[in-house]
A and B are shown apart, each in its own frame.
Chain A
C-alpha cells in the first residue's frame, strides 16, 4: 500500500540513434499533483507514454503502484489499467461514439453496471468536466477543441482512477476554462486522493494545481520540488522559464490571491 504511485529508475528511451531519456529517475507519491515541464522535444509526452506502457523503453525500470506494467499478464495488467486514466493531448475520443458513450466505454468494458446507473454516472462526469448536458449526445467531430478536451477528461475520470495522466490538459482552453480545470483537479485530489501526473506548459496551472514540479532537460529530471524551490535552481532554462514575462505574471497572480 505504501509503494509510491510512480517510481522510475535509470530510465533510458531511444529511437534509433536519437536518445530521448538517459538515467532518468522520478518518484511520485500518492495524492500528489506533479507538473512535468520542459522545452519542446525534451520527451515529456514520451515519458508519459512510457509509464502507461505505450512506448517500449530501452532500459531502466518503471513501477506504477509498485508494479511494472510491462511485466504483468493480461488480467493483472487490466486491473492496473483500471486504476489510471489518461487524457491525451488532443483528446483521442472514439469518433464513432457520442461523448456520453465515450465516457461509458471503459465502464462497459470493466464493470457490470445497470444501464440507468451508467447513464447517470456518465452525466455526472460530463457535468464535472464542465460540459453542458446536451453535449452528451454529440459526436466528437461536432465539438470544439476545448470541449473535446473536457469530454476526454470525463472519459479519463470514468472509472474514478487513483492516478491520472494529463498531457497538456489546459492547452486550447480559454483562461476561465483553464482555471476551472485547475480547480477541478484540486477538488478531485482533495476529495478522492487523486494522484496527478501532468505534462503542462501552463504556468498558472503549475502555480495553482501542482504540489511539485519536475523539470525535464538534458535527457533527465534536472530538478524536482515545490515550485518556489525549483524556480530558484541555477540552470539557464529554468531561470528563463520562470523569470520570463509569462512566468513573472503567473507568479504575481498567485501572490495576489
Chain B
C-alpha cells in the first residue's frame, strides 16, 4: 500500500549570462532528498552571487523536506527576486514553498560543547559544591523529619494511620519471606564453613557459638537492613519522586497539606517499627539454618544445639543486634524519602535518585554498623 519512493534528480544548466537553471525531477520527499543533499549543497556553493531559476516541471511529489532543500538552494545564491525564482510549481506546492521559506532558520541541536578542561574543572567544582549542599540539605531534611515527629508526639491524632499501616504491610510483612530465606541460607553457610574450619583444630563444638554470635550480633540485622534498603528505600524514592514529577507534591502544599507529615512520617514510622520485627524473624531463621547444618554435618542434635546456645550465647548479643535495627531503618527511610524529594525534571533524574538512594542507604547502614561496633567495644558488650 505504501507507495515506493522514486529518486530525486536534478540537472544544472548554465546560461550564456552565467545564470543557473536547476531542473528537478522525481520525488522530492524526506526519504529521497538525503541522497542528493550533498550534490545540491555543491550547486548552492557555485551559485554564489548569480541568478538562479529552479524549474519544478518534472517534480512528481514534494514535501516539506523537498521544499526545504530547494528553498535553501534558492536562498544561498542571494540573487535578485525578480530574476531568481521557482518556475512551473505544481499545484499546492507554492503554498508549501512559501510556508517553508518563512521557517528557514537553523536551530541549536544540543547544548553547546564546552572545552574539555573547562568542563572537568566545572564538574569538579559542581561536585564539591553539590557534596556540601547535599550534606546541608540532608541534615536540614533530617531536622524537618524530627520536627514533624515532635509535632506528631504532641498531637498523635495527626498520624495517618491507614497510610502507616499500608507501608507496614508493604515494607514489613511482605518482606518476611525474602528476609527469612536469605537469613536462613546465611546461617547455614556460616555453620557449614565454621564446622569445616574449626574441625581442623578439633573445635567443631564451637560452631554453635560462631553461628549464634554472628547471626544475632551482625548478620541478621545487616542483611535485613540491606534488603530493606533495596526493597523499600528505592520504592520510597520512586514513589515520592514520581509524585514530585507530576506536581502532586506542589498540589499538596497549595492545599495546605504538609508533605512531611503525609508522605514521610508514615514511611519512617512504618520502617522503624517493622524492621526490628523483621530482624527478629531473620535471627530465628538464621539460627534454624545453623541448627540444621550442624545437625546433619556434625551430628549435634537440635536439643544439644539449643541448650548449648542457651549456655554460651549470652542475651546481650541479641540486644546488640536488635537495637541497631530501628536506627538503620530510620536512616534508610529518611534517605529514601529525601532522594525522592530531590527528583526534578526528567524520568532520568528519577532513575538516578533511586540508584543513589539505595547506594547511600547501604553505605550509611554499614558506616553506622561500624560506629556501633566501636561503641559496643568500648562498653565491653
A is bound by B: yes
Residues of chain A at the chain B interface (Cβ within 8 Å):
65-67, 79-80, 82-83, 95-96, 98, 100-101, 104, 107, 111-114, 116-117, 119-128, 131, 133-137, 139-141, 157, 159-160, 187-188, 190-193
A sample of 4 more A-B contacts (CB under 8 A), given A101-B109, A160-B30, A191-B95, is: A112-B34, A127-B104, A127-B105, A133-B108
**25 pairs across A/B with beta carbons < 8 Å?**
A80-B1, A83-B2, A98-B111, A111-B31, A112-B34, A113-B30, A113-B37, A114-B37, A121-B64, A121-B68, A127-B104, A128-B99, A133-B105, A133-B108, A137-B111, A139-B346, A140-B346, A160-B30, A160-B63, A160-B65, A187-B99, A190-B92, A191-B92, A192-B63, A192-B64
Most buried by B among A122, A124, A160, A192: A124
Determine the distance from Cα of A100 to Cα of B95 in the docked complex, in whole angstroms.
Answer: 25
Determine the distance from Cα of A231 to Cα of B99 in the docked complex, in whole angstroms.
Answer: 33
CB of A82, distance to nearest CB on chain B (Å): 8
CB of A243, distance to nearest CB on chain B (Å): 35
Which one, A96, A98, A133, contacts B348 given CB within 8 A? Answer: A96
| Cβ–Cβ contact A193 & B92, under 8 A | yes
CB of B15 within 8 Å of the partner chain: no
| Cβ–Cβ contact A119 & B109, under 8 A | yes
CB of B110 within 8 Å of the partner chain: yes
Which one, A79, A117, A127, A140, contacts B107 given CB within 8 A? Answer: A127
| Cβ–Cβ contact B1 & A67, under 8 A | yes
CB of B33 within 8 Å of the partner chain: yes
Determine the distance from Cα of A128 to Cα of B95 in the docked complex, in whole angstroms.
Answer: 13
Determine the distance from Cα of A111 to Cα of B1 in the docked complex, in whole angstroms.
Answer: 18
CB of B39, distance to nearest CB on chain A (Å): 11
Q: Which residues of chain A come closer than 8 Å to B99, judged between CB atoms? A: 128, 187-188, 191
Q: Which residues of chain A come closer than 8 Å to B264, judged between CB atoms? A: none
Determine the distance from Cα of A139 to Cα of B38 in the docked complex, in whole angstroms.
Answer: 30
Determine the distance from Cα of A122 to Cα of B106 in the docked complex, in whole angstroms.
Answer: 8
Q: Which residues of chain A come closer than 8 Å to B41, judged between CB atoms? A: 116
Which one, A67, A124, A191, contacts B103 given CB within 8 A? Answer: A124
Q: Which residues of chain A come closer than 8 Å to B202, judged between CB atoms? A: none
| Cβ–Cβ contact B72 & A120, under 8 A | yes
Determine the distance from Cα of A50 to Cα of B313 in the docked complex, in whole angstroms.
Answer: 67
Determine the distance from Cα of A122 to Cα of B68 in the docked complex, in whole angstroms.
Answer: 11
| Known contacts A95-B348, A116-B37, A117-B37: A125-B31 contact under CB 8 Å | no
| Cβ–Cβ contact B104 & A136, under 8 A | no
| Cβ–Cβ contact A141 & B346, under 8 A | yes
| Known contacts A98-B109, A160-B29: A139-B345 contact under CB 8 Å | yes
Q: Which residue of B lies closest to A110 (CB)?
A: B31
Determine the distance from Cα of A61 to Cα of B31 in the docked complex, in whole angstroms.
Answer: 31
| Cβ–Cβ contact B64 & A114, under 8 A | no
Q: How many A-B residue contacts, CB cutoff 8 Å? A: 119
Chain B interface extent, by class: 35 or more
| Known contacts A66-B1, A95-B345: A121-B30 contact under CB 8 Å | yes
Interface string of B6-33 (1 = CB under 8 A from A): 0000000000000000000000011101
Which one, B96, B105, B110, B112, contacts A101 given CB within 8 A? Answer: B110
CB of A83, distance to nearest CB on chain B (Å): 7
Determine the distance from Cα of A113 to Cα of B30 in the docked complex, in whole angstroms.
Answer: 9
CB of B284 within 8 Å of the partner chain: no
| Cβ–Cβ contact B111 & A192, under 8 A | no
| Cβ–Cβ contact A128 & B346, under 8 A | no
Determine the distance from Cα of A126 to Cα of B72 in the docked complex, in whole angstroms.
Answer: 16
CB of B347 within 8 Å of the partner chain: yes
Interface string of B58-101 (1 = CB under 8 A from A): 00000111001100100000000000000000001101100110
Which 10 A-B pairs give the minimum distances between C-beta atoms? A136-B107, A95-B346, A137-B108, A191-B96, A141-B345, A127-B103, A123-B107, A113-B34, A160-B63, A133-B107
CB of A190, distance to nearest CB on chain B (Å): 5
Q: Which residue of B lies closest to A187 (CB)?
A: B99
Q: Which residues of chain A come closer than 8 Å to B344, judged between CB atoms? A: 141
Determine the distance from Cα of A107 to Cα of B1 in the docked complex, in whole angstroms.
Answer: 21
For window 307-354 of B, CB contacts with A under 8 Å fall at 344-348
Which one, B30, B63, B105, B109, contacts A111 given CB within 8 A? Answer: B30
| Cβ–Cβ contact A111 & B347, under 8 A | no
Q: Which residues of chain A come closer than 8 Å to B103, judged between CB atoms? A: 124, 127-128
Q: Which residues of chain B come closer than 8 Å to A83, judged between CB atoms? A: 2
Most buried by A among B68, B111, B344: B68
| Known contacts A96-B346, A187-B95: A136-B68 contact under CB 8 Å | no
Interface string of B187-216 (1 = CB under 8 A from A): 000000000000000000000000000000
Q: Which residue of A lies closest to B3 (CB)?
A: A1
Determine the distance from Cα of A22 to Cα of B33 in the docked complex, in whole angstroms.
Answer: 45
| Known contacts A120-B72, A133-B105, A190-B92: A125-B34 contact under CB 8 Å | no
